[in-house]
Structure 1
């Protein structure tokens, strides 16, 4: 982390010509289980990871917001009074959208000082590790501090979600921001996306001799494009046809009735969400009663459901999951919104090297690009560094 913090400070000074007054960071996240359940007001079990986005910030004398980053050449500049969600474009829509979203939660943009922001990150982009929520959460925490807004972390999670929905145009739920802001070391965040109640669930991976391997397929995805939105529309259609407010209101026992009322595609979309909610509850219970060694089958079942019922996997993700399972992983699944990105494998620490060699070999054999693989640990949430 010290490298990225130093890089952000240096980047800030080189870009804006003065020293930053503070540095904030927020982690990316891996979703252990509970995919596409969040916007259906269901249950999720993400964990913050030890890959972070860093924001260096300096106050300005005027009411202008300037944003720069290590991953883009241009500096985005806009008067605070002109922040309008539909007008924001490109990567800068994430941090600028957060400033606008804070105005919807009480920040008076006519009264707060302008800021310069410089962003750096080691959260991979497009891998399903929520690089976007890491930006939103770090910026939200930083602006909340320097603008003295006094908003709590659950509210800041809603700020980040609003920025992503309205400024970026991605119809995502609140899971990613909640994990980034509420995460704790060696623990996952069990989140009820209807009530926003959250509980910290101990993972106990190190004590069990287990590790989580991320397999980034290199197949990039974008939530702002069609597949994600189409799945969300299917879920809303299914809920409407079944007479419920959201798919959260259904249980596995309701699936037989659903099968008779819905067309095949909508039924399968609904079945994924309903069974995935149950798998999250089962995973939390299993972690508490039996420990992490016992959750592998639930991870495998989650992947099969996303592959077959929700149809959001790709051949590279399927190959990663199958190869992991055949080479010592207790369980594996794609993670994130789908259509590319990363898979996770839960495996004994001593088996990680064997897994990596096997997956590299399988990808080469199938003519796929070499995946990037790294172990993550469950980390603490957003902080002022």
Structure 2
């Protein structure tokens, strides 16, 4: 690995590992959770507050940013980091998943995907080359290869064809990324393994990606409705199919117990909209499980959301006040609940890093799951 991107594993405990990714805009401690800033913002949070929770890296999205405000405009304004006032690493999703999930009218070919915007119906074409160009214009630090993410319940033959095309798109992404020499000199490119729930297809996908060569490798095609048991079944083998000395990124996951189970199976990086979306809808994640602050039992509860959390929502406000804000539809309620959830996720990652480093991850997992999943 080069100075622009390096990954070091500092400790292992079973399959779990902790380490660091070094990039020009800062260090990323792993296991890492990336708050999702889809449209150049983590909803209901200021970038400096996101950083204060302990986040080392955030995620932006190619699909949403290409449609609004436009990648070329962001580039003219100095790039995504300056635009949103986040000066640490940013990973950008390739846009492939959003094209498939958000665009009602789309045409998939070997060249790419032609689709109509979910915002105004305008027509666009997204290809591996265009995805790399958009991520270059945004100034992304970790660029994701362009792929297709099929539903896990599709026929095996359809999933196989999709995976094989995604691998051809991965090679085109690699070539296009390398062609943007100035950007490539300071950024990293991750490939995405596909194959849904089929071990042999994931083996073939991993082999194809390793032949191409990437800085890191993502496990795609999960967290799309298959359930935790099926997801963990894939994670029992998928991480070891990927290079041991490179970061492994599980895309779109997940609930706190999902994260702990995935780290136990060798995953290093995560992203998910769940903590911010749940916060806006009145759900808080705590060490003793999730709670719905809108529940009437919190109306006169003077305790903090979580006694073991030091975020602003827990330090300065009661459950009763947060209950009131959420019932009244006050914006402050969404802000405080989101900040707490992002802070909790970062505290969870820090606790896992510490447990792995001290060789007690199995005990940590047992205790965490007992408290978090209690009835």
Q: If the length of structure 2 is used for normalisation, what is the TM-score? A: 0.28
| More strand by percentage | 1
